[in-house]
């Protein structure tokens, strides 16, 4: 009779070690052993061994099948995971290049003191575009150096943004020369007269935008208002960039002054910076200029505080294209809505980011202009504002 029967681990499988009447134990692997097991020592032990082998194979077989299933499932998961991971990756964020002719990059934000940019980013957010979440903004400034605008435009185009927002007529012309493929939204003067587009309804190409210029009538209106406020203009100046004075804008201003019966000469600026503003105001003070028509160029907005201070220092009445000048102490403005300009540009940008073709989008024009007068400044200049003019004003700042 066998003295002992015990189970153990053999070659990684369940096995039997059998002692037969003091003989050296015989090792049996029930998974690898097939056929009858000839142990000797009686059939009852043989039947036990055979029964154990069947049970072991059944249990281990089930275990192996579970392992194979888990292995297959893991392999399937491994094959599915990269696909799932790719599907869950966020879409590539759009890149917008905002290019100002003179505004500091740090001021071109939603939280800056610039009303234009606050309205612009607020409107984009309302339309579902939040900076840093689903689009990226790259900001550029020309720093008022007009001679470098063309180089700046080429540099921006070489970064291949998804869209360019140009806040300047001259920059828009530079961008038109630099790219025919990247969508451009621009704020400009008269885009047709300047050769930027051939039609307001269907600009064509890759450019659309908003115009702040309603034509010669607006310049004539500003000159007429300045004349009414001062009672006489015998030596007026048009404060404008050299390029615009020599081009369509200057020609329009000269025609407007002719219609208004006002003597108007140009005071062209070679660039926009503090030194150049100081130079032209010193020149106008020396020449006893009695009135200034300030152009609607974006640089004039950037330097609005300096411009107002110099006009007050030299005691020269001026009319502006932006109400913000009057809020800072300027005499008067016949102004478009700068906030609506920003919101309109944001709406165009949102449409293009969604797939619209800028060439099919109408180039919009400012249609509402408001007269704003600062009576405190008028008194400081020794001007008695006519009652009729004050009554026509949309806003009077005391």
Residue 173: per-residue pLDDT: 96
DSSP type of residue 360: G
- DSSP alpha helix (H) spans, 318-373: 323-327, 338-353
Using CA atoms, how far apart are residues 136 and 134, in angstroms rounded to an integer? Answer: 7
Sign (positive or negative) of CA dihedral 175, 176, 182, 183? positive
pTM of the model: 0.75
> What gap in Å lies between CA 191 and CA 29, rounded to an integer?
93
CA distances from 117 to 49, 257, 303 (A): 88, 33, 16
For 157, 219, 375, 386, the CA distances from 378, given in Å and listed in that order, are 46, 21, 5, 11
Let me know: does 152 contact 109? Beta carbons within 8 Å.
no
- Look at residue 83 in the predicted model and tell me its pLDDT: 39
Q: What is the pLDDT of residue 320?
A: 98
Does an H or E element contain 394, and which?
none
Return the residue matching tokens 């000048």: 325
Say if 94-211 and 216-336+367-397 have the same CATH topology. yes
Residue 255: HSE in the Cβ half-sphere, 13 Å Cα cutoff: 10
Beta-carbon contacts of 130 under 8 Å, excluding residues fewer than 6 positions away, are 124
pLDDT of residue 51: 53
Helix (H, G, I), strand (E, B) or coil at 68: helix
CA distances from 299 to 115, 239, 258 (A): 15, 11, 26
Domain residue limits, the chain: 4-88, 94-211, 216-336+367-397
Task: Tell me what pLDDT residue 189 has.
Answer: 87
DSSP string, 225-272: HHHHHHS--SSEEEEEEHHHHHSHHHHHHHHHHHHHT--EEEEEESS-
Residue 11: is it exposed, middle or buried by C-beta count within 10 angstroms (0-12/13-18/19+)?
A: exposed
Q: Cα separation of 101 and 272, whole Å? A: 9
CA atoms within 13 A on the CB side of 270: 4
Classify domain 216-336+367-397 at the CATH topology level. Answer: Rossmann fold (3.40.50)
d(CA 331, CA 235) in angstroms, rounded, equals 18
Q: What is the pLDDT of residue 373?
A: 98
For the chain, the first-to-last Cα distance in angstroms comes to 123
3-state secondary structure of 163: strand
- Structurally, at CATH architecture level, domain 94-211 sits in 3-Layer(aba) Sandwich (3.40)
Query: How many Å apart are CA 21 and CA 3, to the nearest integer?
Result: 6
Non-local CB neighbours of 164 within 8 Å, separated by 6+ positions:
96, 97, 99, 156, 157, 175, 179, 182, 183, 184, 185
- Please provide the DSSP assignment of 166-231 as one string: E-SHHHHHHHHHH-SSS-EEEEES-TTTTTS-S-SS---TTEEEEE----HHHHHHHHHHHHHHHS
Q: 345 near 187, Cβ under 8 Å?
A: yes
Find out whether 100 and 167 touch, Cβ atoms under 8 Å.
Answer: yes
Exposed/middle/buried for residue 198 (C-beta within 10 Å: 0-12, 13-18, 19+): exposed
What is the full per-residue pLDDT of the chain (398 aa) written as tens digits? 333 333 333 333 444 444 344 444 444 444 444 444 444 444 454 444 445 445 545 544 555 455 554 444 444 444 433 433 344 445 689 999 999 999 999 999 999 888 999 999 999 999 999 999 999 999 999 999 999 999 999 999 999 999 999 999 999 999 999 999 999 999 998 899 889 999 999 999 999 999 987 777 888 899 999 999 999 899 999 999 999 999 888 998 999 899 888 899 999 999 999 999 999 999 999 999 999 999 999 999 999 999 999 999 999 999 999 999 999 999 999 999 989 999 999 999 999 999 999 999 999 988 889 999 999 999 999 999 999 999 999 999 98
For residue 134, what are the contacts with CB-CB under 8 A and spacing of at least 6? 93, 94, 128
């Amino acid at each position: 009779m066998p003295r002992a029967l015990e189970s153990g681990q053999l070659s990684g499988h369940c096995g039997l070690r059998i002692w037969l009447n003091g003989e050296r134990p015989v090792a049996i692997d029930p998974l690898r052993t097939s056929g009858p097991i000839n142990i000797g020592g009686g059939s009852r032990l043989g039947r036990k061994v055979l029964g154990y082998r069947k049970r072991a194979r059944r249990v281990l077989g089930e275990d192996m099948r579970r392992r194979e299933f888990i292995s297959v499932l893991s392999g399937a998961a491994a094959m599915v995971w990269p696909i799932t991971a790719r599907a869950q990756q966020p879409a590539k964020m759009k890149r917008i290049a905002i290019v100002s002719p003179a505004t500091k990059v740090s001021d071109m934000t939603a939280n800056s003191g610039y009303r234009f940019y606050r309205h612009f980013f607020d409107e984009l957010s309302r339309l579902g575009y939040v900076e840093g979440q689903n689009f990226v903004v790259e900001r550029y400034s020309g720093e008022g150096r007009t001679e470098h605008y063309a180089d700046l435009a080429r540099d921006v185009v070489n970064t291949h943004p998804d869209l360019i927002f140009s806040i300047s007529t001259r920059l828009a012309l530079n961008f038109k020369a630099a790219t025919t493929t990247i969508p451009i939204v621009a704020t400009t003067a008269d885009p047709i007269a300047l050769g930027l587009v051939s039609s307001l309804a269907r600009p064509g190409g890759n450019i659309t935008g908003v115009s702040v210029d309603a034509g010669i009538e607006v310049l004539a209106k500003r000159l007429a208002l300045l004349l009414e406020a001062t009672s006489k203009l015998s030596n007026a100046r048009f404060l404008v960039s050299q390029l615009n004075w020599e081009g369509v804008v200057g020609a329009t201003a000269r025609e407007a002054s002719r219609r208004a019966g006002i003597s108007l000469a140009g005071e062209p600026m070679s660039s926009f910076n503090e030194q150049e503003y100081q130079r032209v105001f010193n020149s106008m003070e020396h020449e006893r200029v009695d009135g200034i028509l300030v152009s609607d160029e974006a640089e004039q907005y950037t330097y609005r505080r300096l411009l107002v201070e110099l006009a007050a220092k030299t005691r020269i009445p001026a009319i502006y294209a932006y109400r913000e000048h009057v809020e800072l102490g300027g005499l008067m403005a016949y102004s478009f809505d700068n906030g609506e300009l920003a919101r309109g540009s944001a709406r165009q940008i949102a449409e293009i980011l969604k797939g619209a073709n800028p060439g099919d989008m109408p180039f919009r024009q400012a249609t509402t202009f408001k007269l704003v007068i600062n009576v405190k400044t008028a008194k400081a200049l020794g001007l008695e504002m006519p009652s009729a003019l004050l009554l026509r004003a949309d806003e009077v700042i005391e």
